[in-house]
Amino acid sequence: MKVVIDTNIFVSSFWGGKPMQIVQKWYDGQIVLCLNQSILGEYYRVLSKMGLDSEEELHSIFEMFKTGTNIEYCIGSYFKTFVIDDPDDDKFINCALELSARVIVSGDKHLLGIKRVFDIDILKPNEFLQRYK
């Protein structure tokens, strides 16, 4: 199953809990992580600002990004506006649309407020884990 993981979930995975369980599903090949250049750049910027750019775990994750393990990339040619209050969040929806992902996992109130775009569900981590055990 193809999934877009919002930056707040991806970054939170470094501290465990449900976000880590979701990222672990990617590691284990249970989900395919959908990315574009904007999302990948945001992951790296936020993790670097938090001082995690020297962490060994981060380096292994970026190696997985390079090898394309359980990942699909899009070029980001599709861009529509969906999130009026925070247009920067549109990159997650547009990536999901371009790669036909089924789910966006997020903790962002703007994305969660939308709930669904076409056939793409926008779920909190616990909702995702309950639905896709």
Written as one letter, the residue type at 99 is L
Only one residue has tokens 């938090």, namely: 50
pTM: 0.91
Q: Going by C-beta distance under 8 Å and a sequence separation of 6 or more, which residues neighbour residue 56? A: none
Contacts of 88 (CB under 8 A, 6+ apart): none
Residue 62 scores a pLDDT above 80: no
Q: What is the predicted pLDDT for the residue at 55?
A: 65
- Domain 2-131: give its CATH code: 3.40.50.1010
- Nearest in space to 11 (alpha carbons), one of 65, 38, 48: 48
Express each pLDDT in 10-28 by its tens digit. 999 988 999 999 999 998 9
Reduce the secondary structure of 72-132 to three states and give it as a string: EECCCCCCCCCCCCCHHHHHHHHHHHHHCCCEEECCCHHHHHHCEECCEEEECHHHHHHHC
Q: Give the C-alpha separation, 33 to 12, whole Å.
A: 16
- The answer to whether residue 46 scores a pLDDT higher than 80 is yes
**pLDDT tier for residue 77 given thresholds of 50, 70 and 90:** low
